[in-house]
């Protein structure tokens, strides 16, 4: 069965490759038509998409799906359609004096067949947002969604088949072995969103074909409360950012750094902020469950290890409910005095658990961030412009939001991507278009060029002209 599916993958890849060769540079009309169909897929099937994701999670807030997935994708498609003509236009590039009156141009050329591997945590957004960029750039696209969201993956495959020909956009369903076969295909570009550990394996597989990759990974994204911050506003923002999708967000605040002596105060304010967002948890449709039994148990093991090591654990349960028999919902949990060797402090948490650490001064906070792998996101709260500039300039992160959480992700006029262990490359808006294009440099020689005078046979004319070139460059 697996071999049959892998054969089907190869057939679909070859179909798209042949289709691209017959239309290597789709005009703007073709590209906009594909984007319109992608938008229709998004707008006409909202209820089905929300229901499928809810089924996969065993309880996923429909409001979160609509806001964090459908709204974001819809806005991205519309932004792309409104700017596509400008992105496709040949760009003028200055020509240095010795080569005038020749002209330089940059032509954004489609790459061919693009592969996209999307994760389970935001299965619609993290599949369709890169598809938007790849189609806008004129490519054919194959998508491999996560096996942890089978209901949604089947729905996406059906919707793609309804709205697109298989040589335009196609969805490949399968398990981890199919995923390995997928990333081993000779794509013209491969975008993977997922964990750092799997991202390394994807990069190795792609390297065998010299396939360029964009890796959107994760890591331990810090949030820093400066002494100058408004604690109530900051706690409210962190509570929302941490508990959106029950913390199963690649850019969720992973741990919190607060000034020395403030951990207790901040924990109390966070507990109050969580209670305002989620007055109850067990039957609250706004509070999302953990995706699988394995991930649920992983989080419980992390908390148990921290408790046994002497960390102070605060489980936030505003209505005093028993969640033991209600599927995979996990109480929002704060952890103080967590040692650096605990799994909570070594691994990306990816759940509603937030360690709170104290720091002595801004140097200490910067040093703590820089000792770890470079994160996908960093958050800073405060009004001290000097400290803010130091944090921005002396730490390295994929993206930063100041005095809020996660909002840098949804800025279509800014690139989104990681750095170091949190990823490579970027997409969103024009950066996505450029990621899936080859920016081909073109030089247009003029009939008035004097370049022939620099060719053999060399002599006095060459020496005079060469001396002039040395003088003017």
Q: Which residues are catalytic?
A: 216, 250
- CA Rg, the chain, in Å? 26
Q: Which of 225, 235, 318 is nearest to 270 (CA)?
A: 235
Per the omega criterion (within 30 degrees of 0), is the bond before 457 cis? yes
How close are the terminal C-alpha atoms of the chain, in Å? 65
Q: Determine how many CB atoms are found less than 10 A away from the CB of residue 25.
A: 12
Which residues are paired to 143 by β-bridges?
116, 171
Residue 442 and residue 247: Cα distance in Å, rounded? 47
Which residue is associated with the tokens 């369903």? 173
Residue 3 CB contacts under 8 Å (≥ 6 apart), including other chains = none
CA dihedral 116, 117, 122, 125 (to 10 degrees): 0
Burial class (CB within 10 angstroms; exposed 0-12, middle 13-18, buried 19+) of 331: middle
SS3 212: coil
Which residue is associated with the tokens 């596509």? 84
Burial class (CB within 10 angstroms; exposed 0-12, middle 13-18, buried 19+) of 435: buried
DSSP letter string over 297-349? HHHHHHHHHHHHTT-EEEE--TT----TTSTT----EEEES--TTSHHHHS--
Residue 332 and residue 422: Cα distance in Å, rounded? 25
Per the omega criterion (within 30 degrees of 0), is the bond before 402 cis? no
Residue 304 and residue 315: Cα distance in Å, rounded? 12
Residue 366 and residue 423: Cα distance in Å, rounded? 21
Looking at residue 460, the DSSP 8-state letter turns out to be H
Q: Are 240 and 407 in contact (CB under 8 A)?
A: no
Q: Which of 404, 424, 418 is nearest to 374 (CA)?
A: 418
DSSP letter string over 279-305? S--TT-TTSPPPS-HHHHHHHHHHHHH
């Amino acid at each position: 069965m697996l071999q049959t599916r892998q054969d089907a993958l190869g057939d679909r890849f070859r179909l798209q490759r042949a289709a691209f060769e017959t239309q290597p540079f789709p005009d703007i009309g073709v590209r906009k038509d594909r984007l319109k169909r992608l938008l229709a897929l998004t707008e006409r099937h909202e209820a089905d998409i929300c229901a499928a994701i809810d089924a996969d999670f065993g309880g996923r807030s429909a409001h979160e799906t609509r806001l964090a997935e459908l709204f974001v994708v819809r806005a991205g498609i519309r932004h792309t359609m409104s700017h596509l003509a400008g992105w496709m236009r040949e760009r003028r590039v200055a020509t240095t004096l010795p080569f005038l009156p020749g002209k330089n141009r940059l032509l954004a050329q489609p790459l061919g067949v693009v592969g996209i591997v999307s994760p389970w945590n935001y299965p619609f957004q993290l599949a369709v947002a890169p598809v938007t960029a790849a189609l806008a750039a004129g490519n054919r696209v194959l998508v491999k969604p996560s096996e942890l969201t089978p209901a949604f993956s089947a729905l996406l495959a059906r919707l793609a088949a309804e709205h697109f020909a298989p040589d335009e956009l196609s969805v490949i369903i399968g398990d981890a072995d199919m995923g390995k076969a997928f990333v081993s295909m000779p794509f013209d570009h491969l975008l993977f969103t997922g964990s750092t550990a799997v991202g390394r394996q994807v990069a190795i597989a792609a390297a065998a074909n010299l396939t360029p990759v964009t890796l959107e990974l994760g890591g331990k994204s810090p949030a820093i409360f400066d002494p100058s911050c408004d604690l109530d506003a900051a706690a409210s923002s962190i509570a929302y950012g941490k508990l959106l999708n029950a913390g199963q967000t690649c850019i969720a605040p992973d741990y919190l750094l607060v000034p020395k002596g403030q951990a207790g105060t901040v924990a109390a304010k966070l507990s109050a902020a969580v209670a305002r967002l989620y007055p109850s948890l067990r039957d609250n449709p706004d509070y999302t469950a953990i995706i699988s039994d394995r991930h649920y148990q992983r989080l419980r093991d992390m908390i148990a290890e921290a408790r046994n090591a002497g960390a102070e654990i605060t489980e936030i349960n505003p209505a005093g409910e028993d969640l033991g028999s209600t599927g995979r919902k996990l109480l929002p949990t704060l952890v103080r005095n967590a040692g650096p060797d605990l799994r909570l402090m070594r691994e990306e948490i990816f759940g509603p658990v937030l360690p709170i650490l104290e720091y002595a001064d801004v140097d200490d906070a910067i040093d703590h961030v820089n000792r770890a792998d470079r994160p996908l996101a960093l958050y800073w709260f405060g009004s001290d412009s000097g400290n803010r500039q130091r944090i921005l300039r002396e730490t390295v992160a994929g993206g930063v939001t100041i005095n809020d959480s996660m909002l840098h992700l949804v800025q279509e006029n800014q690139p989104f991507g990681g750095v170091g262990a949190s990823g490579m490359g970027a997409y969103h808006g024009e950066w996505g278009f450029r990621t899936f294009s080859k920016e081909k440099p073109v030089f247009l020689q003029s009939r008035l060029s004097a370049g022939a005078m620099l060719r053999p046979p060399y002599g006095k004319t060459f020496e005079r002209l060469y001396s002039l070139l040395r003088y003017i460059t």
